[in-house]
Amino acid sequence: MRDMIELAEHLRKLGTKEIEPIDERWGICTEIGFKFQLLDIFLNKQLLSLMYKWPKASGNFFYPVVDSCFDSPKSALVHTSNCWSLSPYGDDRRELCIWLSKQLVSMFHGPLHPCYCAWNKDYDHDWEEQDDSFDHEFGTEQIYFNLCLRCLATTEVDSGDLGECYDYECE
């Protein structure tokens, strides 16, 4: 199971550009397959099925990332010399890495979770406040949330000027 946590961490770092892919011609699966040679086929299949559920997925089981310059996600991957470039295509691949990482983290709970503290029998997240506020013609949309730097869990701090309450209203 340690592998899963390392895998989630590796994907997160790829997504945030903290690390570079081993070969920029490779997609996520080849990168992961090369980096984690101990991972078995089963896990690779699991990864692919997870990617298939990504909200922006292409619908092609083996090639989840779409590049609008190519007529199929397969030819995009095959013909792009750098599929991690600073382009919408590369950005989508990085977004998928982060999404995958979160999915993997949410799959393990309790003692296997990277933020679980066995001593307190509780989660000890490494929160950092994030500011995703942006300006628009009617003012500023204020979006603040806390992000755990270890497991990528998030909590909403303030839901902005829409007057809507997201997290609290159901309680």
Binding site for Zn ion (CB under 5 A): 115, 125, 148, 150-151, 153
Query: Using an 8 Å Cβ cutoff, are 43 and 49 in contact?
Result: no
Nearer to Zn ion, 97 or 153 (CB): 153
Long-range contacts of 13-16 (CB under 8 A, 24+ apart): 14/84, 14/94, 14/97, 15/94, 15/95, 15/96, 15/97, 15/98, 15/99, 15/101, 16/94, 16/98
The residue type at 7: L
Place of tokens 């701090």: 157
Rounded to a whole number of angstroms, the minimum distance from the CB of residue 166 to Zn ion is: 20
Which DSSP letter does residue 94 get?
H
Rounded to a whole number of angstroms, the minimum distance from the CB of residue 116 to Zn ion is: 9
Rounded to a whole number of angstroms, the minimum distance from the CB of residue 13 to Zn ion is: 15
Nearer to Zn ion, 115 or 143 (CB): 115
Nearer to Zn ion, 9 or 92 (CB): 9
Rounded to a whole number of angstroms, the minimum distance from the CB of residue 12 to Zn ion is: 11
Nearer to Zn ion, 15 or 21 (CB): 15
